Structure 1
Amino acid sequence: MFDVVVVGGGPVGACAAALLARGAGGAALRVALLEPAPPAPLPAAAPLRTRVVALSRATERILKTAGAWSRMPPERVSAYERMRVWHESVAPDSDAVLEFDAADVGEPNLGYIAENQLLQWALLGAFAEAGGHLEPASLESLEITDAGVGILTGRGRLAARLVVGADGAESRVREAAGIAADIAGYRQTAIIATVATFRPHEATAWQRFMRDGTLAFLPLADGTSSIVWSADDELAARLVAASEGAFTAELDRASDLALGATRLLGARVSFPLQRLEAQHYCASTSAGDAARLRS
């Protein structure tokens, strides 16, 4: 019998599991974590992965408590010191640009940009180091009773006092527990890619608001940038289907050449944006996208 079984070993689930196993805020618990596809470690010379996440200073403190921060190679993590945010009606070098600078509040930086895969790998390692049990299997079914929870996996059965669903927007835990969710689309699609820019990113996150979407350049550790372009669905469909040359031309137009001309370095990835919120939590506890998703 485990105290807690966490279903879903992405960054949210793995972080929750590591904190519980380490007894953050209380006694250490016996924790199992279901993750059917744990990531392999990234070779030191491997190119940066396309999917990245922005980590705040508060998140850094949580990751240190979870034992994961020291596992993330600093050469793959990019600290950003400033943010520049502007509307399409003004130039990117205009005095009307809203700027946040870590130096203004006496901090070394505002946060970090790191690869999703690296973060997940570091958290799973921290969880194992804390004595947690990693179950490389998928959830088949749940049985929730007053005595606890029975979790049937592809490898067998686990029992726990509590199950935590951190298995994404299409959570099987949420479904099995009978927890309904409110879902609404934003009629926008996010496009992400890695690009090189003519001018250096200057350890700065850049974000431009336009009538048909929002474009962000996130600074990466190797000097390139990760773009996150949230565009109206009709525009996004054209951008995804466009040739590399046509896409970069549209990207240069949308960025107003804030960092100069861009060059696409890999494949584009896209996904629809939606809002998801669980209606209640009385049957079990859900975490991350399984409970709330506003992306």
Structure 2
Amino acid sequence: MGNGSATTRTASAATGASLAVPSKIAGVFTPGGLAALGLLSAAFVAVFYRWFRQQTAFSLGHPEDWAHAFVIPLISLYMLWRRREILATLRIEPFWPALTPILLGLWCYLFFLIYVPNHMLGGAAMLLTLYGLVLLTLGTRGGRELFLPIAFLVFGITISEAIMNDITFRLQLVASQGSFAVLSLMGAFTGFTTDIQGNVITVITPSGIEHPMNVAEACSGMRMVIAFIALAGAVAVLGCKEWWQRVAVLLLAVPVAIGMNVVRVVVLGLLMFIDPDLSQGEAHMLIGTLLLIPALGLFLGAIWALNQIFTPTTGEGAES
């Protein structure tokens, strides 16, 4: 009789405990936690609304350069989703020193918004504030788990034009010389010739018709270098487990961007034989966008090669 009563009390206590634990939405958020996250997110967007509006205008106004900024937050959200089981175990553990990066981020944002307008540095201040909020609410453990998804958002910030021009100009010179070399080699077998004078590559048909191509315009795809780096970063974070593998894949981003732009200029040069107009306008931008696909294949191939070469040896394999 006593044992039966004890069993009943134990079962009742277990049932009461299970009822006391709130159900989680998507296995991560409690209803109260989701509501708090929604309010905090709304407040964050309201504070940085002007920056988000300006970034949207940049991306829509120059889709060939910054359209990838719309995809960056989705990739960051996917990184968070992959960590959902770990995130579900996090508890609210306020880390009060995080008020320092929050206040610093807000001050810098207002400074670069009002006194020295700078969209790029304003975006950096926004990310600093965001990371500070994570530290404040989830503590240092939450900061470690969410560091990469938040850091990846940097690829969604439009870089200042002066910096971008300086970077892409140097890369354009390399890409133009590479394109000239490839076109000259192809011409040796097919009968056309290629000449380069300053910023102009001229493709000359066997009949002597010249098709000049402005190198700066043809190599404008180098402005997509940030998109290539972002693609490499996403593949590295999602496909690699070791930090050195991620670094290796990231180091491939610029060479791959240059190589893909060489392909782009060569294709545009060959299209001139069909219709010179195909080397401009929408076709020009479409070719650059499509080249992200083989770039993705190269990054995935690099990960496969790294995994094949540096596969850890198991104990059983060592004995055999």
User: With structure 1 as the length reference, what TM-score do the two structures score?
Assistant: 0.21
Bigger relative contact order, structure 1 or 2 (CA pairs below 8 A, ≥6 apart): 1
Q: Which structure shows the bigger proportion of residues in helix conformation?
A: 2
Q: Who wins on radius of gyration, i.e. which is larger? A: 2
Q: Which structure shows the bigger proportion of residues in strand conformation?
A: 1
User: With structure 2 as the length reference, what TM-score do the two structures score?
Assistant: 0.20
